[in-house]
Structure 1
Amino acid sequence: MLLHIVARGKIGRSAEAELVERYLKRIQWDTKVTELPDEGGTIPDPKMTPARTVVLDEGGKVMSSVKFANTLGRWRDDGVRETQFLIGAADGHSDEIKRNADLLFSFGPATWPHMMCRAMLAEQLFRATAILSGHPYHREGARS
């Protein structure tokens, strides 16, 4: 399954860009990043392939890493070819985009800069694929 991050704004060369690249390189699944301008541009149509759309939104569902991984694994096992993860600009997403999402996903009630969300999402995608493959990266419940 292709994990496709569709993000508003240009990340450029930054610490966040380095984190995104670091985590995406570690993912064994296919990955892709599409950058759109803050306004306008065309979001790739998920109807062109069997796809799911995850919209990052502060009002979305908060999920544990394991539950998030299990959701992605279920979609993969159901034959989904692509999952798009939409990251909005400063003003978020339109009501239409949120209505059409398969999942509204949140990193919690705090407001996060959208460039940081991109890095956090890349890490969670790596963590989810690591969980699904049995890789020891995720140590739920481990204490130091």
Structure 2
Amino acid sequence: MRILVLAVGRLKAGPERALVERYAERAGPLARALGFGGVDMAELAESPSRNAIQRKADEGRALLSRSLPGPLIVFDERGANCDSEDFAHRLSAWRDSGEGAINLAIGGPDGLDASVRNASALVLSFGAMTMPHQIVRALVLEQVYRGLTILAGHPYHRA
């Protein structure tokens, strides 16, 4: 089972990209050791539309079309709160269910289209505040890494 992080928008070189890459590099070997197929990332282009509603619809179609067979988890400020240990247990349960992939989707600057939220198995939030999608991407990768360390009994997570 692969863990696929789908994100609208391209990260430019800089501290956000470095942080995302650091957590992805740390998570990959640990994921494989725990029976996941690895951690992959896919960057999707932002829609060129001038209309925000159309941009979200275009980006939503792109997210759904790039998703692999398996649960779709989206991040949205209106989603449910989940602590790191719960997230780790969910990763484990999805892995053990025999799904092909876990898709973790992050919308662009305008957020997620309702079609993506409606297609998701779970909508999670890092809080009620709106955050830049670049920061959310770093948070998602950090939580994937943290969840894997929890499953592995690694001391990174101190609760």
TM-score (normalised: structure 1): 0.90
Identity %: 35
Give the counterpart of 2:126 among 98, 101, 107. 107
Alpha-carbon RMSD across the aligned residues, in angstroms, is 1.3
What is aligned with 2:51?
none
Q: Deviations over 1:18-40 (max 9, x none)?
A: 00111111112201111111224
Query: Between Structure 1 and Structure 2, which shows a larger proportion of helix residues?
Result: 2
TM-score (normalised: structure 2): 0.82
1:22 aligns with 2:47: no
What number of residue pairs does the alignment pair up? Answer: 138
Find the aligned partners of 1:91 and 1:10 in 2 and give their Cα distance.
14
What is aligned with 1:131?
150
Give the counterpart of 1:52 among 71, 78, 86. 71
Deviates more, 1:36-45 or 1:105-114: 36-45
Q: Structure 2: any 5+ residue segments left out of the alignment?
A: 32-37, 48-57
Q: Structure 1: any 5+ residue segments left out of the alignment?
A: none
Distance change in 2, residues 1:45/1:22 (3 Å): closer
1:97 aligns with 2:116: yes
Find the aligned partners of 2:43 and 2:23 in 1 and give their Cα distance.
17
Query: Between Structure 1 and Structure 2, which shows a larger proportion of strand residues?
Result: 1
What is aligned with 1:36?
44
